[in-house]
Amino acid sequence: MPLKVKVDRDLCQGHSVCLAECPEVFDVVEQDEGYPVVKVLLQEPPNVLREKVLAAAKYCPNHVITVEES
């Protein structure tokens, strides 16, 4: 089953845990002002990345990431 990654950028403070867990899917980018914010590189990542994507969502300190299994 394919995964679908959603993020609530308003809650993100750029802690970068997702980037450490799964750099294939998440990046953290500087903004014009304020905190750097998560950027999703693959909205529908392949199944081989399932564990890593779920870990990124689980360990995000601000609950920014949700993963839907469609």
Q: Report phi then psi at 32, rounded to 5.
A: -60, -40
In the bound complex, what is the minimum distance in angstroms from residue 50's beta carbon to another protein?
Answer: 17
Spatial CB neighbours of 33, under 8 Å, sequence gap ≥ 6: none
Q: Based on CB atoms, which residue is closest to another protein, 3 or 57?
A: 57
67 lies in the site for another protein, by CB under 8 A: no
Dist. CA 66–CA 69, nearest whole Å: 10
39 lies in the site for another protein, by CB under 8 A: no
Q: Based on CB atoms, which residue is closest to another protein, 3 or 12?
A: 12
